[in-house]
A and B are shown apart, each in its own frame.
Chain A
C-alpha cells in the first residue's frame, strides 16, 4: 500500500491502534480515523462526486469499520481495509439512491448546520470541478478504479485488494475509464496548442 503520510518513528502503527480498539481502548479508533481521514474523504468525495452523499458514505464507513474492527485479520494494510470499507459504503449509497428516492429529512436546519461546505477552495482553478464532472460520466467501477490508481496513487495490486477484484480487472477498468475521459478532458491539455489552459495544469509534461 502506498503510504503518502509522513509518519513519525514513534507513532503507534495502524494495526496496533486497531488491536487496541478491539480490546476496548475508547480512543484508539478515533485516532486511526483522524490519521487517515483526509485520504478517506478524498476517495469518498471523488467516487461519489456529491459532497453530501460523500459525507454520509464516509460516516457510514467509519461506523462500519468501528464495528468490524474485530474481524480485521491483518493480512492487508489497515489503510487498504479502511479504503475498502469506504468504497463499499460509496457503492451502497449509489445503490440505495438508485432504488428509492431520497428519504425526507427530519430536520433540515440541523443538517445544514453540519453539512460540509462546498465548493472547496480548489475550485478557484476550475480544475477539480471539471475533473469531477468528467468522472461522473463513468460507471462506478471505472471511477473508483481511477480514483484509487490515478488520483490517489495506489498501485494496481493495492487497488485490486481494496476493491477485492483481480489486478487485471483493475487494469481493464482503468483503461476503459481513461478511454472515456480522454475526449472529456481535452480542455485541460495544452499539448496541441489549445489556448484555454493556464494556471496549475498549464505546465504539463512535455511529450
Chain B
C-alpha cells in the first residue's frame, strides 16, 4: 500500500477517467484504506457541486439596453462593417451605448440626388418619384418599417442612406464641410446604410418630407450628432441641420441650424 496520501490532482484525474488503468487501480486501492483521501476525493465532488449551486446572475437591465442599442446601431450601418471595424474602439461603443450619438442631414435636389439615392439612374427627376416606391425599394434592403413617420407622403425613408463619415463638424463651417463630403459622392453612397425607423422619422421631421442630400452620423462640437443637409434655394448652398442622436419626428432635438 502506498503510504503517501494522494493529492487533489491525481484524484481529480481519477474522477475524470484520465488515469492509466494501472495507476487508477493503485489509486483506488489506496482510497479503500485511507479515509483522509476519500475525504479529499469528496472535496473535489463538492467543488463541482458548489460551482453548480452558485446563483446564476441575470443580465443587468442597463447592460441589456446597452447591447440592444449597439445591435441597433450595427444594423444601421452593417453595410460598412469592414471599413468601420478598425476605427471603432471601446470608447466609441460606450458613447453609442449611452445613446449620446447625434445626426447631420442635407437635402436632396437634382444635383445631389444621385449621391443620396440608393438606386441612382442618373436622372435628376427622383423628386418626382412617388415616395411610396422609394420606401418599397428600400424595405427590400432590410430597413425596419417606420411607425414614427407621420405619413406616407412625408416618409422619404429609403431615398437616402445614413453615412458615417467620421467628420468632426464645427459651428460656422457646416456648409463647407458638407460641400467637401459630397464631393466624394460615390464613396458616400457606397458606405451608407439604411436609416432606422427612428432616424427616418427624425429626418422626415427635419426636412419636412424632402429628400436629404446627406445624413451623416458624426460628431458636432465634440459630441455625437446627426448632420442632415438639404440643398439650399440658391445654387451651391446647403441647408444644414445638426440634431442630437435621440432625434425623433416629434422632437428633433436640433442642436444647430445653418441655413444656406
Contact = CB atoms under 8 A, between A and B. Distances in A.
Partners in one complex: yes
Contacts of A179: 7-9, 11-12, 44
B63 A58 contact: yes
B44 A204 contact: no
B46 A55 contact: no
Chain B interface: which size bin? 35 or more
The secondary structure that dominates the A interface is helix
A26 B91 contact: no
A84 B68 CA distance: 20
Contacts of B66: 55, 59, 114
B89 interface: yes
B200 to A, nearest CB: 12
Nearest to B71: A30
Interface string A36-56: 011101100110000100011
Contacts, number: 181
The secondary structure that dominates the B interface is helix
Contacts of B13: 172, 175
A117 B90 CA distance: 19
A205 B49 CA distance: 9
A91 interface: no
Contacts of B70: 59, 62-63
Given A175-B12, A182-B40, A186-B43, A67 B142 contact: no
Interface stretch (A10-18, A75-83, A123-131, A157-165): A123-131
B9 A176 contact: yes
A158 to B, nearest CB: 15
Given A150-B52, A191-B46, A207-B42, A182 B8 contact: yes
A181 B54 CA distance: 14
A105 to B, nearest CB: 6
Interface residues of A, number: 69
Nearest to A107: B95
A122 B53 CA distance: 12
A178 B95 contact: no
Nearest to B99: A114
B1 interface: no
B123 interface: no
A8 B141 CA distance: 30
A107 B94 CA distance: 9
A201 B55 CA distance: 11
Interface in B7-24: 7-9, 11-13, 15-18
Contacts of A166: none
A46 B50 CA distance: 14
Contacts of B93: 59, 63
Contacts of A171: 16-18
A103 interface: yes
A172 B141 contact: no
A110 B71 contact: no
B4 interface: no
B97 to A, nearest CB: 5
A139 B142 CA distance: 43
A26 B145 CA distance: 10
A66 interface: yes
Given A58-B67, A110-B95, A168-B18, A178 B12 contact: yes
A42 B56 contact: yes
B15 A29 contact: no
B97 A59 contact: yes
B94 A105 contact: yes
A123 to B, nearest CB: 9
Contacts of B75: 26, 29, 66
B191 to A, nearest CB: 16
17 contacts: A26-B143, A26-B144, A30-B68, A59-B97, A63-B74, A66-B74, A106-B94, A107-B94, A107-B100, A114-B94, A172-B16, A175-B12, A178-B15, A179-B9, A182-B40, A191-B39, A191-B46
Given A114-B94, A207-B45, 17 more contacts: A30-B71, A37-B64, A103-B90, A110-B100, A114-B65, A116-B59, A116-B60, A116-B62, A172-B16, A172-B18, A175-B9, A178-B47, A182-B40, A182-B44, A182-B47, A186-B43, A200-B55
